[in-house]
Structure formats: C-alpha cells, structure tokens
Chain A
Amino acid sequence: MSDVTQVPEARVLPAPRSAASTIRYWPWFAALLISAVLPWLFYDWQHARHAGFVVSVLSQTGMMIIFALSFNMLMGQAGLLSFCHSVLFGLAGYSTVHFLNAAGAGELPVPMELVPLLAGLAGLGFAIVFGYVATKQRSTAFAMITLGIVQLVTTAATMFHHFFGGEGGIQTDRMIGRSLFGLEYAHSIEVYYLIVAWMMIAAIGMYFHTNTPLGRMANACRDNHERAQFVGYDPRMVRFVQFALSGFYAGIAGGLFAITYEIVTFDAVAAPLAANALLMAYIGGATTFFGPVLGAILITLMQSGVSLMSNSWLVYVGVLFIAMVTFAPAGLTGIVLEHAPIARAGLLRRLVLPYARGLLPGLIVLLGFVGMVELLSFLTIGQAQGKRFVLFGSTIDVHGVMPWLISLVFLVGGGVWLRREAIAFKRVWDGLTDIARQGDAPMGESG
C-alpha cells in the first residue's frame, strides 16, 4: 500500500485568473447600466418627464433588493430565520426621518448622499441591541425571539409618540438643502439614482462579506455549529456579528425608504415586511448570493403590477411561495443551477421536449386556478367594489355556471395531465442527471 501512503507531488497551483477577474465584474457593471438606463426607457419625451409610476416601482425595487440581500445574510448564509428584520429596517427609517428633520432645521450638517450611511449606522446600533438578545440562541429558538422582538417593537411604535408619531407615523421633508453634488432631491428620479448608488454600494459590500473569514464562518456555523466550536470559533459571536452587519445593510434600505416616501409608519417595522423579505429571498433562491435580488424584483413587480390587475395578488404570491417551498426549495436560481451538471455534460437539448410537453398542461392549470380565484374574488370583494369581470372585452357573469365549470375542468383536468407529464419529465431528468454525474465522478477513489 506504499503507493497510496505517499504524499503526491505538490500540485501546481492554478494560475491567477486575470482574465477571469474582468469577467467576474461584468454582472456588476451590467446591473449598474441596466439600473441607470431603465427609467429612460419609460421617459415621456413629449411632455419631457419621467413616468412617475415606473420610477416609483424601480425605487421600491432598489431598496427591496438591499433589504432582501441583508435578510439573506441571516437566512441563506447563516441559517438564521429572522422575523424581526423589518424592525431593523423600520427603526432605521424612523431614525432617518429624525435625521432629515434635524438636517432640515440646520442642526445636522449632513449632505443627503450620506444620510443612508447614517441610517445604516442606526440599523447597526439597533441590530447590536436586538442581536445581543436574539443570537444567544439559534434555529427555532432564535426565530421565536425575533418574533417576540417584532411584536414588541410594533406595539411600541403605536405607543411612544415622541419617536414613532403614533398610528399616523412621522413625516419629513427630504429637501434639506445640503448635497455633495448640488442636488435638491425635489424629483423622484434624483432619489432613484441615490437609491441605485446605495444599492450598488450595499450589494458589493454584502458580496464582499461572503468571502471574508466571518462570512465563511457564518456558512460553517449554519452547516454545523458544533464543529465550528472545535475549530476555535464561538458560534454565538459569529451569529452576533453577522446579525449586526445585516442590520447595517437593512438600515440603509430603511433610510432610503424614509427618503423616498418622506413618511414612516409602524408598517415599516411590522412583521409583514419581514415576511416579505423571506418571500423574496426564498422565491429568488436563498442558497445563492444573487437569488434574493431576483426575488426582490419579482415580488416588487407582483406587488405593484399584479396588484393593479387583481384584488387577489397576495393569493398568487402565497401560492407561488408554497409551490417554491414544496417543489424548488433552492428557489428560482436554484432551479437554474440544477441544470448546470446536465448542461456541462451537453445534454440540455434532451430536456427541451419534456419541458415543452409540460408547458400546455401547466398553462391550463394556471388558467383554471386564476379563473377560480378571480371568480371568487369578483363574487365577493369585487362585487362590494362594484367591479365587473371583463375578459377579452366581454363581461363574465360570475353567477353563471359555465365560467366556474370551465375553470374547474381546466384546473382538475390540467392538473391530472400536468402530473403525468411531470412524472415523465422526472424520469428523463433522473436519467440525464445520472449520466452527468458519471461524467463528473473522480478518476480514482482514495484508500
């Protein structure tokens, strides 16, 4: 056995990837470019003004990207499910309103561009306080403590009027008259670019964090907190620092929220916002860094787009969430990444037909489901609002039997068909994965 006990020749270290490093940065440049250009695609040249709705949706998306990424510093990277992430966001938002009011009154000589940094520091401060309590525990106990914190702070927000302003919240005026670039921030487009700038800073900061000793040990503690202790780390301290830093970034998002809307109410600290972060991170994919970005974009679009079209948009978000947790726990980016081994083996083409076959039944199920939900919605809320169900130009009688019957047939029939296609798909998928895995196998097993 002397051949296996010998230390193999020191293998040549891979050459520094200078070519790869320029490639590595392109997603960042692309993101910056897209963010900068997007509002101009909807610019109204005739009246020489920006589309207010679009700018508002984009601004909301930008701050939610920061928020979702900072949430995932806890959930995806450290295995900590926090329900009080909204507290860090909201309290930083409240603080920002006070900063802006002080700045407006000339008591705080800070340019607008640095206000989000102050908000981040406020978030950091609150995260240190709450994190000290919450990170004493991990997993379920941690989640319970954060649930307690969010309820506590939400209640406090309606009780202590000096800081929170009660039910109505507190307002501010973002035109503090101090800027590094001489900007007034009178228009929402100026605020949008402030958001883009801070979104890039925060995202790069958080990405850098994933490749630091602490960021890596957060992953390690997530995987096996006990082992972390036996390589010299105190998992509690890892959780605490990670929590505090995620609070810093959540604070930046909260500050941008306050600057954008010039009002902060208790909704900004309440649990539904934390649940939103969970949805974004999960649907986008918590196992990758960029997953939450995708989730934030998708959920914000659904919130502002689908909510205009349908009363029941929350139902769709909920069902999407349940479907993702059930069928694709690694989220949308996870689904994409799972194709990687098959793509490497050059077998992706063989998936085209199975996917195509699932498309039609999938669409039918979707139609049936949306039909049922909308019929129900128009029968109840819609009727109260005096709305009519209009589809392809013709009004649908929600009291008639046919629409219900058709939706039901679509839903059930499509479901049965989709299930059959899904089984066939899985067979093909498993076969391809097996082939791909054999290609990936090591040349020789050790020992």
Chain B
Amino acid sequence: MTAPGLSLVEVTKNFGQTEIIRGVNLNVAAGERHALIGPNGAGKTTLFNLISGRFAITSGEIRLDTVRLDGLPPHRINRLGLSRSFQITSIFHRLSVLENIRCSLLWSRGYRYSFWHALGRQRALNEETERLLVELNLAERRDVQAGLLSYAEQRALEIGMTIAGGASMILLDEPTAGMSHSETEYAVALIRRVTQGKTLVMVEHDMRVVFDLADTITVLVYGRVIASGPPAEIRANPAVQEAYLGALAA
C-alpha cells in the first residue's frame, strides 16, 4: 500500500462566535513526516480533531488523497486508513494491554461486528497482536490492566493502538508530552520504527523531537499557517522565529 497524502483547503472552525481555525491550507505529501508546531492555543489539537472527524469543520475541504474526509464520522475516516492518537491518553483502561491491542486490530482484520468468531482461535490475529506487543516492548505487561500501566507505558500503548490497524496516515498528538528525557528518546525511536513507510503528522512541543523526526514542519499561529517547509527553512524563517521559536529562546 502506498502512503497517502493529506490536503486541507481553507479549513475553518468556529466554536460559537470564536474562530479557532481561520482558513488553514496544508499539504502533507505521501510518505513524509510532518510536524505541526505552534504556541499554546494555536489550534493544533483542534486541527487534528477536524481531520480525524472528532469535530465537524465549519467550512473548507479535507481530503485523504482524493477522498473527502470532512463530514464523515470518525470510524469511517479510520477505516479509510487514517488513525490518530490522543494528547490525553485514551485507552480501554479496564481491558488488558493485550486486549487493547487486539481491539485495535479487529476492524482492519475484517472481523466487523462478529459475534461468531472465538477470539482465542484467531491465529493470525493473535500472532499479530503478540508481534505488536513485542514491538512496543509491552510483551511482559500483556496481561496487566491498561489503566494500571505507568505513564510512559500507556503512551507506548496509545501509539501501538494508533498504528495497529495498519493505517497509512498516522496522526500523533504530542506523543512525548510529559516524558522524561530518556523516555522521550525511547518514544522517538519507537515512532520512527512503527511509522516506517507511512505518512506521519505529529503535534509536538519538544523541538529536539521535531527537528529529529520531521521532514517538513508547519507552523500554526492563532488558527493560521504562517510557514511550512523543511526544518532548515523553518528555523531560518524570521516570522517563525518571532512568533514561536524566538519566544522559546527568550
């Protein structure tokens, strides 16, 4: 499967009278690693919520390759091959780690709403689950209730659930937020590994992670894209420096 591209055309989102997203144009090329950065309140997470169908857009157009995404419910968007993670860990907290991963695989493996398959007997499904657990370094914790995992483990699980279904367009919302330095390094390596051959869009605050991972960076300020390009170009962009990077350096 070739990784798809994502395009946003003049996307706006109002909450009541307040404009949060004010005409965003964004192109994510197939196969690239795209970082979305910007100060707090710039609308990065909101943009993710619009792309993934969590909120409806007010106007504009969102396409995955040629397919219109806007107006579709989240599960349909997911089935088209776009999967997202959440800034605030969103897992099935009372299910075991293994079940969390297996649940994330079910739809893409064609089980739909089946009440006639015994989960324990689905060999290919269970082998894939085990493989993912090993890849996520969670194999030792497979039978632990997901809600009882450590924070870093939950974040790893969150990433695992996002990529499990085999989506080719992955949206990660601050995957390293709240992590220690070593945890961050581990997470970056994990992200790099599991998103190989896929298109990745990520919201990230940690600039080391951004410059480490991203091929392209888009800067969002107050609901508008002020710059988009390769890391070196973004770093040199005076508008970005003023609006964002400069503020950090100061």
Complex Cα spacing A8 to B83, Å: 26
Min CB gap A213→B, angstroms: 4
Check: B211 CB closer than 8 A to any chain A CB.
no
Min CB gap B77→A, angstroms: 9
Min CB gap A28→B, angstroms: 16
Closest to B140 in A: A442
Q: Is the CB of A230 within 8 A of B74?
A: yes
Q: Is the CB of B141 within 8 A of A212?
A: no
Q: Is the CB of B118 within 8 A of A447?
A: no
Beyond A219-B94, A446-B152, whether A234 also contacts B103 by CB under 8 A is: no
Partner of A1, one of B104, B130, B185: B185
Partner of B120, one of A11, A211, A231, A442: A211
Complex Cα spacing A442 to B141, Å: 8
Q: Is the CB of A229 within 8 A of B106?
A: no
Q: Is the CB of A7 within 8 A of B134?
A: yes
Interface string of A228-265 (1 = CB under 8 A from B): 11111110011001000100000000000000000000
Q: Is the CB of A213 within 8 A of B119?
A: yes
Tell me the residues in window 363-388 of chain A with beta carbons closer than 8 Å to chain B beta carbons. Answer: none
Check: A227 CB closer than 8 A to any chain B CB.
yes
Interface string of B57-82 (1 = CB under 8 A from A): 00000000000000001110011000
Complex Cα spacing A229 to B165, Å: 12
Q: For residue B92, which residues in chain A have a CB less than 8 angstroms away from its CB?
A: 219-220, 223-224, 227-228
A interface bracket (residues with beta carbon within 8 Å of B): 35 or more
Partner of B106, one of A208, A216, A245: A216
Q: For residue B78, which residues in chain A have a CB less than 8 angstroms away from its CB?
A: 229-232
Q: Is the CB of B102 within 8 A of A212?
A: no
Check: A423 CB closer than 8 A to any chain B CB.
no
Q: Is the CB of B99 within 8 A of A213?
A: no
Min CB gap A225→B, angstroms: 10
Check: B215 CB closer than 8 A to any chain A CB.
no
Beyond A211-B119, A213-B106, A232-B78, whether A8 also contacts B91 by CB under 8 A is: no
Q: For residue B19, which residues in chain A have a CB less than 8 angstroms away from its CB?
A: none
Q: Is the CB of B103 within 8 A of A229?
A: no
Min CB gap A131→B, angstroms: 13
Q: Is the CB of B182 within 8 A of A447?
A: yes
Interface string of B130-166 (1 = CB under 8 A from A): 1100110111110000000010110010000110110
Check: B84 CB closer than 8 A to any chain A CB.
yes
Q: For residue A447, which residues in chain B have a CB less than 8 angstroms away from its CB?
A: 150, 152-153, 179-180, 182-183, 186-187
Check: B46 CB closer than 8 A to any chain A CB.
no
Closest to A215 in B: B115
Beyond A223-B94, A232-B108, A442-B141, whether A212 also contacts B118 by CB under 8 A is: yes
Q: For residue B139, which residues in chain A have a CB less than 8 angstroms away from its CB?
A: 8, 11
Q: For residue A10, which residues in chain B have a CB less than 8 angstroms away from its CB?
A: 131, 134
Check: A328 CB closer than 8 A to any chain B CB.
no
Q: Is the CB of B156 within 8 A of A230?
A: no
Complex Cα spacing A222 to B165, Å: 20
Min CB gap A1→B, angstroms: 5
Check: A209 CB closer than 8 A to any chain B CB.
yes
Check: B17 CB closer than 8 A to any chain A CB.
no
Q: For residue A8, which residues in chain B have a CB less than 8 angstroms away from its CB?
A: 134, 137, 139
Interface string of B34-65 (1 = CB under 8 A from A): 00000000000000000010100000000000
Partner of B118, one of A4, A208, A233, A445: A208
Check: A5 CB closer than 8 A to any chain B CB.
yes
Check: B244 CB closer than 8 A to any chain A CB.
no
Check: B114 CB closer than 8 A to any chain A CB.
yes
| A213-B119, A229-B73, A446-B153 given; 7 more Cβ-contact pairs under 8 Å | A212-B117, A216-B119, A224-B92, A227-B91, A227-B161, A231-B106, A447-B187
Q: Which residues of B contact A (CB under 8 A)?
A: 52, 54, 73-75, 78-79, 83-84, 86, 90-95, 99, 102-104, 106-108, 111-120, 130-131, 134-135, 137-141, 150, 152-153, 156, 161-162, 164-165, 179-180, 182-183, 185-187, 189-190, 193
